[in-house]
Structure 1
């Protein structure tokens, strides 16, 4: 086998060359193992690589069925139709938007997202997931901070009384005792009456109210 021309190998030798190429052997190593000249090996390597490339191309870009184009060309496909647009889509895209006012009222009552979701299912046949309610509630709370009701009273109409135990304090007896603290605050004016007593009883409780007025 001379170096100046390419030999046409017998099927068994061709299979041997292809197998050794697929195993990653170099053309020099194949030449040493088989005695086939390197030009022939190089030519069969090129043919083998081209066959692999064409096979890969045909699998990625199949030709049109029944049409011989002479090359592997991706057929032109029409894009899928767009889904019909909603007539009145919600501004924020939330399924809870139709129930916004009701949800806002429930939030003012101090209810959480889970309780609101359960009532939506029972009262309004709500079919969406709990997470959509949770996100909607979180967005409302972020937009509208927690609200507080302001109570107004007429003069002398109402007062608030706090009566509790204080910290250990040194008594006249020389021992530490816990006094009782009495505080009354008028709702209208905010004026307060405060007094510390050492004994607690019903009589003391009534007397402190009288002294406050």
Structure 2
């Protein structure tokens, strides 16, 4: 029984023929799907590198949990290089950040009366990040989540190291803020430079 074969406007295809798909449309859809998958894979790799290195930086400094300063140091080593270029845009030396962070941390301990005499400090034991879920300070979680949110606003939607820099610059206090201040870095300018690196308004 023919249901609607003679109705005007009814969709049908000729007997014995498969449905025809426009080649260009099929290609476009495939490219979008592939690019979306590739970007997702890149994001996972970037996140793994960022968090693993941040945890290693925290352990190296003798801290149990990574903070924003460790995310910053980790971001500067990500292969996309946008974090380093953001520092260069404002005339700041990103390689000096580690020393500034160490000094800021030491000064904070000294102010709290917790600093030890250099002669009494044992060499830190090298440790590796523990397996399992990533744990960090609340401020580091805030920076990471903000960086991911910023990455969703860019096209293509990919997390890059400059997103981490921009997110860290939004902080108002903490070791990362004190270290940037010690380097003479204006956080508003650095944030704008980081945003420019990834095509976001500052």
The TM-score with structure 2 as length reference comes to 0.19
The TM-score with structure 1 as length reference comes to 0.18
Larger gyration radius, structure 1 or structure 2: 1
Which is helix-richer, 1 or 2? 2
